Amino acid sequence: MRAISGLWRWRHNPLCRPTDLAEGWVGLVALVLVVLAAPVAGVLAGGATEDVLQRSVREQHENRHQVRATVMRELAPSPLSVDPEGSVGGEPRTRVLARWTASDGTEHSGPVSTRLKDPRPDDRFPLWTDAGGRITARPMDTVTATTHAVLAGFGVTLLTAVLIEGVRRLVVRRMVHHRYVRLDRAWERVGPDWGRTGTGS
């Protein structure tokens, strides 16, 4: 920002070096890109993610079905059991042996995790299955898909802004390095004669 504000001060300053103006213009271009290009990249990425996720939501709702399962008996807890609902830190789940009828009419049975606190035989609970009757996770809803898309867009916006700032810093660093190289060369030419009275006369 100091380089950008310096553009105004340096316009008619006789001490202004070309590299000072170039550094200011680099900062100005970087600022414009951060303000304009980064949000556009975020919107495009968020929109693309939204399309993919909403398509996935439709496919999941078409291929996954909620059925009513019936408890046959309670099973001992297993540390290796996988919760198809993916509940982490939620309500404790109980393993039961259950039977259910798939959407195609076939009968299935097997160990299932359920939120029933005190499951008893013939208790019923909802269960998500695929078209073949295999247990699956609950389909994603549209709100969750939209939330993920917004987070993806925000992440891309932030990443783009950081990338632009990184490029700006790299360019300015190279410019400063070349400035010091030229200064060293100039000092090598006049340094040996610095302060000598009558030098060159």
Which DSSP helix (H) or strand (E) runs through 74? Answer: strand 64-74
43-68 mean pLDDT: 94
For position 87, what pLDDT does the model report? 47
Which pLDDT score, from 0 to 100, does residue 11 have?
57
Predicted pLDDT of residue 125:
92
Q: What is the mean pLDDT of residues 38-47?
A: 95
Residue range 40-50: mean pLDDT, rounded: 95
5 vs 103, residue with greater confidence? 103
Alpha carbon separation from 67 to 37, 155, 177 (Å, rounded): 48, 38, 69
CA 7 to chain CA mean position, Å:
35
pLDDT at 194: 60
SS3 labels along 100-134: EECCCCCEEEEEEEECCCCCCCCCEEEEEEECCCC
State which amino acid sits at residue 93: R
CA distances from 116 to 120, 121, 159 (A): 9, 12, 44
* pLDDT of amino acid 25: 82
Rounded mean pLDDT of 29-50?
A: 94
What percentage of residues in the chain have a pLDDT greater than 70? Answer: 77
How far apart CA 27 and CA 24 sit, in angstroms, is 5
Average pLDDT, the chain: 82
pLDDT digits (tens, 9 = 90+) for 69-123: 999 998 887 655 445 554 444 556 788 999 999 888 889 999 998 888 888 899 9
pLDDT at 59: 93
pLDDT digits (tens, 9 = 90+) for 140-179: 999 999 999 999 999 999 999 999 999 999 998 998 888 8
pTM passes above 0.95:
no
